[in-house]
Amino acid sequence: MTPPLLLLLGACPGFGTVALSSGASEVPEHPTYTEDAGPILDTYCSPCHGEDFSGSGHDEFRLDQYEGDGERLGAVDMVDRIEFRATGDNPTMPKAGANQPSDVEREILAAWIADGAAE
């Protein structure tokens, strides 16, 4: 017999969900950069592809900004690359050994791109 407390907790929405570094526990219907994709990119991508790009060797873009700054492209300009490298069945970024996004966080990035990559 299941203890009543477990039955009660099991009926609570969100009980047992994993807290993600971005703060999201599910894929939003219309994700935005500011609320959804940006925090994920900041956590996992910006250490190499942000203001300090020395870890990547790529000085042509930064993912810690939605739009480019006149010198470097922003995240919205890189959606094809983000989709190819960070989502899907065989993501190659972040590199092996680095802190990795959860499956839900990768789904959020994919949904953000599929929904038009809104700010």
What is the domain range of residue 92? 24-114
Chain mean position to CA 98: 14
Rounded distance, CA 119 to CA 113, Å? 11
19 within some domain: no
- Does residue 16 have a pLDDT over 60? no
Of the candidates 69, 43, 45, the one whose C-alpha atom is nearest the C-alpha of residue 56 is 45
- Kindly indicate the confidence band of residue 24, based on its pLDDT and cuts at 50, 70 and 90: low
Using the structure block, give the residue that is written with the tokens 């010198």.
71
1 within some domain: no
108 within some domain: yes
119 within some domain: no
Q: How many CB atoms lie within 10 A of CB 15?
A: 10
The tens digit of pLDDT for each residue in 58-111 reads 889 999 999 999 999 999 999 999 999 999 889 999 999 999 999 999 999 999
Give residue 60's pLDDT.
94
82 within some domain: yes
- Determine the residue type at 109: L
82: three-class secondary structure by DSSP: helix
Give residue 89's pLDDT.
87
Chain mean position to CA 45: 9
Residue 91: both structure tokens together: 């993501």
pTM for this entry: 0.77
Counting the structural domains of the chain, the total is 1
12 within some domain: no
